């Protein structure tokens, strides 16, 4: 499997995992993490950054 296909697969799986997590979180608002909200937001931001970076790397740049 080449690098672009692997990046696309990992990016899609991470995006799917995020969607499942959001669906679960919306259904269970009483849940929480035992860490600070700042650290939680940092983790979410890094997760989104890695997900979108993997998806961006999987698509070739268009040549003009």
Q: Across the chain, which distance is largest between two alpha carbons, in Å?
A: 52
Determine, yes or no, domain membership for 54: yes
Cα gap 48→63, rounded to integer Å: 27
Looking at the structure of the chain, the number of domains it has is: 1
Name the one residue in this structure whose structure tokens are 């909200």.
37
Determine, yes or no, domain membership for 15: yes
Full pLDDT tens readout for the chain, 64 residues: 788 889 899 999 999 999 999 998 888 888 877 888 899 899 999 999 999 999 888 887 777 7
Alpha-carbon separation of residue 10 from 38, 57, 62 (angstroms): 26, 11, 22
Determine, yes or no, domain membership for 63: no
Determine, yes or no, domain membership for 64: no
Residue 50: domain span: 3-58
pTM for the model: 0.78
Cα gap 28→15, rounded to integer Å: 20
pLDDT of residue 40: 87
Alpha-carbon separation of residue 42 from 2, 37, 62 (angstroms): 31, 9, 32
């Amino acid at each position: 499997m080449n690098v672009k296909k692997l990046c696309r697969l990992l990016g899609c799986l991470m995006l799917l995992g995020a969607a499942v997590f959001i669906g679960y979180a919306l259904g269970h608002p009483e849940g929480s993490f035992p860490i600070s909200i700042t650290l939680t937001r940092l983790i979410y931001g890094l997760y989104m950054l890695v997900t979108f970076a993997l998806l961006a790397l999987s698509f070739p740049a268009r040549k003009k």
